[in-house]
Amino acid sequence: MELLLQLSTYLCIASLLLIISSEANTDQIPKHYVVYMGSSSISESSHLELLSSVIPREEKKRVSLIHHFRHAMSGFSAMLTEREASALSGYDGVVSVFPDPILELHTTRSWDFLESDLGMNNNTSAHFSTKSDIIIGIIDTGIWPESPSFRDEGIGKIPSTWKGGCMEGPDFKKSNCNRKLIGARYYNNIQLTSSDGKNLTLTKTVTKGSPRDSVGHGTHTSSIAAGSIVNDATYYGLAKGTARGGSPSSRIAAYKTCSEQGCSGATLLKAIDDAIKDGVDIISISIGLSSLFQSDFSKDPIAIGAFHAEQFGVMVVCSAGNDGPDPYTVVNAAPWIFTVAASNIDRNFLSTIVLGNGKMFQGIGINFSNLTRSKMYPLVLGEEVAAKFAPASEARNCYPGSLDYNKVAGKIVVCVNDDPTISRKIKKLVLQDAKAMGMILIDEEKKDVPFDAAVFPFSEVTNLEGHQILRYINSTKNPTATILATREVTRYKPSPIVASFSSRGPSVLTENILKPDVMAPGVGILAAMIPKSDEPGIIPIGKKPSLFGIMSGTSMACPHVTGAAAFIKSVHRMWTPSMIKSALMTTATTYNNLRKHVTNSSNLFSSPHEMGVGEIDPLRALNPGLVFKTELEDYLKFLCYYGYSKKNIRSMSKNNFNCPRNCSEDLISNINYPSISIKTLGRHQKAKVVTRTVTNVGPTNSTYIAKVQAPKGMVIKVTPNKLVFYGGIQKRSYQVSFYNNDAQGGYNFGSITWLDGKHYVHTIFAVNTK
């Protein structure tokens, strides 16, 4: 017995040593790291010298920079072990060292909807004919230059401010660039090779080898932001009309950093650095970290790049993410980033289900089915055609491998969406491979987002319709159905509504900044697309590959705001990024096309944590009356209040800024932002007071009166409640005092509106009462 006990103890110790050894070895495997060094001007040779100081001499082949940031910011990326990265993080001048994160893609009628259906029609043709030298940098999956959305007819010479180039590849020539698409770059991917199985050598490989888009995402977002006017654009007959970007005369510079698998954070940071050097005015990024793995601002490549872009006067617009409808999922939430949520427009795509008993249901979805009412097909539940030994729960969800293909063939299958990890696309591919005649999906969560099933008959219904379909199946021995091709419904009401997938606030990083900022169309958006001819079942019979596609996501909402910002910049050339941001925020609307408060996909009133301050109104934003200028000092104070050291803040800003004597996270609410958010306000505690400063961009002599909409149980006081501008006085400051007398616990929302008889300057606030 004693011998067995000793043997057991020995084995435990040996196992523990093996685990420790394994972890130690794992820690010493080189990985791709980003070394961020703020704004300091450091040469490439100095970066190499720094790298060589931590890498052993016998591994000198690893002393190589993958990316070198040297224009708007300083730093590099390289292959480092965890120990080497830790050593570098302690060096003077190093702000942060972090593993290269993989970021996610946040995958015409929309502009018409913004301009007219929400009451914004003010001779738009005159506005959109404005000639523009504004340059938009699109950081994405590249671009398809032959798209008609990137033709340059009627566009003037390339702006003299453009300093970038047009990189070539096997399938991309300099002649693919023109006066519309003025620049294109792509980036090398990294790969580790080993000849002896031990020593790793860094090499650089090229994916696709050109700026050409092989995914479609970058082409789509580019055309939403600044696509040229294209008449009779359509997706196989759907959404027919005039396609155009938000700023059709703006120029596009494409930076290919992503593939379908995602985007290297280090590469994206390099692209931002290049875009600033190239001379872009606005950067559009429909990409972000997963909401589950958000990083501190100093370890988030988008936040880092955007911070330095702001210092160079370059606006950065980003998508809020597609992890809704849960709260605390918004990403790209730094105050110097313009963060965009997604909404629908007044168009929907309906796919009719006809049951054997004659009943019809209007499902959502895009399909170019050739099925008709004249022929019905057997209708079955997923669990009724389950494969042998497959759990019924998996068959209900149409899991890969869960269905008996012999039983599925020739039938329309009803699937559910109990498990969101199995996407609609995967379910469709499973049934298509099994030669099913079609799919009816019962899904409450994504009922507002049309899925493109191409030629495969598909329709998606809510639980209410789904229950009736299930009842029919159980009521007859031989249930049948058919699914008709999609038809388009216009003037759809209510619109906008907040998209179910759109990520929600508050931000997990700080609740004292209201995020997202605004909302823009992101559901069922028609825009340029790469011609897809190599995928089976994609192109309807007798049709050529479409030059346009319909996509949904905050990825689509982001370039709507980018285009709107470029439009405003083309009129107000001297306005800073924060002035344009303020103009779009304070003029946004919270009403739909029924003249009622915007709702979400659950038909509940939408809160600012879902839609920000509201849906953008580009035309009204041209003349906002007053703007909130958020200066570099505000952002530096934010970093102080957030807890960054004076040393790192100085390194990031390249000046001798000193933090205020008293710093706490609560003071973040006090930076001069166009909205207000207060993380905590206790009942009957001392009033929370925030200060705001507005700049007059309207008539020289004007008087504004404050109007407050306060939630029940709160008292809001504005001091002074009258702002008078005259002569040379352009700025006025005021204070807002928030009192929690007996407000309902949780977040309460309201607004302060400054009125002068012509303008209304709307500031939304969110206060978390305890």
* Marked catalytic residue, from 106, 217, 308, 762: 217
CA distance 729 to 177: 46
List the Cα angle 555/557/559 in 5-degree steps. Answer: 80
Is 21 tagged catalytic? no
Q: How far is CA 431 from CA 403, 438, 439, 484, in A?
A: 9, 7, 7, 17
* Marked catalytic residue, from 140, 213, 273, 756: 140
CA distance 626 to 423: 45
Q: How many residues does the chain have?
A: 770
Is 217 tagged catalytic? yes
Cβ neighbours, 10 Å, residue 575: 20
Three-state DSSP state, 669: helix
The answer to whether residues 525 and 551 touch, using CB atoms and an 8 Å cutoff, is yes
The answer to whether residues 178 and 206 touch, using CB atoms and an 8 Å cutoff, is no
Q: How far is CA 396 from CA 402, 566, 749, in A?
A: 9, 48, 41
Cite the beta strand spans of 15-109 per DSSP E: 31-36, 67-69, 75-80, 96-99, 102-105
Is 475 tagged catalytic? no
* Marked catalytic residue, from 555, 578, 675, 677: 555
Q: Which residues of 670-687 are buried (b: 16+ CB within 10 A; e: fewer)?
A: bbbbbbbbbbebeeeeee
CA distance 690 to 683: 18
The answer to whether residues 513 and 668 touch, using CB atoms and an 8 Å cutoff, is yes
Q: Is 387 exposed, middle or buried (0-12, 13-18, 19+ CB in 10 A)?
A: middle
CA distance 9 to 393: 44
For β-strands 377-381 and 412-416, DSSP reports them as parallel
Pick the closest to residue 188 from 299, 270, 282 (CA basis).
270
Q: Which residues of 5-34 are buried (b: 16+ CB within 10 A; e: fewer)?
A: eeeeeeeeeeeeeeeeeeeeeeeeebbbbb
Q: Is 195 exposed, middle or buried (0-12, 13-18, 19+ CB in 10 A)?
A: exposed
Which positions ≥6 away from 730 have C-beta within 8 Å? 695, 696
Q: DSSP string covering 254-272, please?
A: EEE-EETTEEEHHHHHHHH
Q: DSSP string covering 480-544, please?
A: EEEEPPPEEEES-SS--EE-TTS---S-SS-TTS-SS-EEEE-SSEEEE-----SSTT-SPTT-P
Q: Percent helix, strand, coil in the chain (nearest 5)?
A: 25, 30, 45
Three-state DSSP state, 680: strand
The catalytic residue positions are 140, 217, 555
